[in-house]
């Protein structure tokens, strides 16, 4: 973290008046994380998936007719839920439990706001691969969150 601060100090003139220090530091941090991931992902690429390559992943959730076997939990109003401490804690725990690569991709998307174009370029993967991995992340998260009643029951 200290080299980030050094960089920030050295380039202080360039961000003054343009964006807040925090925004700027976040950008540096994002670039560093992307650099790191790019290196890792290049050495060991994420297994490519085809357009329907994910189907078997969550097959067990669905009946022969393609409908949910267990009715998903009614989590209520999303905006209200997203302000509740118990839910936020549960989300954090569940994100930490994601498989490493999928978790990294999800965090780049939802915390650093990288869009499909950026993710494809930065990580050298295709748009359909990005979408399948994010779908997997969301399906794993909703399964994990259902175990704690979407933050409405204790434990987790």
Q: In terms of CB distance, is 16 or 31 closer to another protein?
A: 31
Residues 70-89 binding another protein (CB under 8 A) are 71-79, 81-83, 87-88
Structure-block tokens of residue 131: 């979408």
Q: Which of residues 22-41 bind another protein (CB under 8 A)?
A: none
Member of 116, 149, 152, 156 binding another protein (CB under 8 A): 116
Cα–Cα dist 126/74, whole Å: 33
Distance CA 93, CA 133 (A): 19
Q: What is the distance between the alpha carbons of residues 38 and 45, in angstroms, rounded to a whole number?
A: 9
**Which among 125, 102, 105 is positioned nearest to 114, based on CA atoms?**
105
Which residues sit at the interface with another protein, rule CB under 8 A? Answer: 54-55, 58-59, 61-62, 65-68, 71-79, 81-83, 87-88, 91-92, 95, 109-111, 115-116, 127, 130-131, 134-135, 138-139, 141-142, 145, 150
């Amino acid at each position: 973290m200290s080299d980030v601060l050094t960089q920030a100090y050295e380039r202080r003139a360039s961000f003054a008046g343009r964006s807040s220090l925090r925004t700027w530091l976040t950008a540096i941090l994002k670039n560093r994380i992307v650099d790191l991931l790019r290196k890792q992902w290049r050495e060991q690429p994420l297994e490519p998936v085809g357009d329907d390559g994910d189907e078997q992943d969550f097959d067990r959730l669905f009946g022969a007719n393609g409908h949910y076997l267990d009715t998903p939990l009614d989590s209520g109003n999303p905006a209200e839920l997203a302000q509740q401490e118990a839910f936020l804690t549960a989300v954090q725990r569940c994100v930490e439990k994601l498989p490493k690569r999928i978790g990294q991709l999800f965090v780049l998307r939802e915390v650093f706001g990288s869009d499909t174009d950026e993710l494809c370029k930065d990580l050298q993967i295709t748009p359909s691969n990005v979408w399948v991995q994010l779908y997997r992340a969301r399906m794993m998260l909703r399964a994990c969150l259902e175990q704690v009643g979407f933050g409405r029951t204790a434990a987790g």
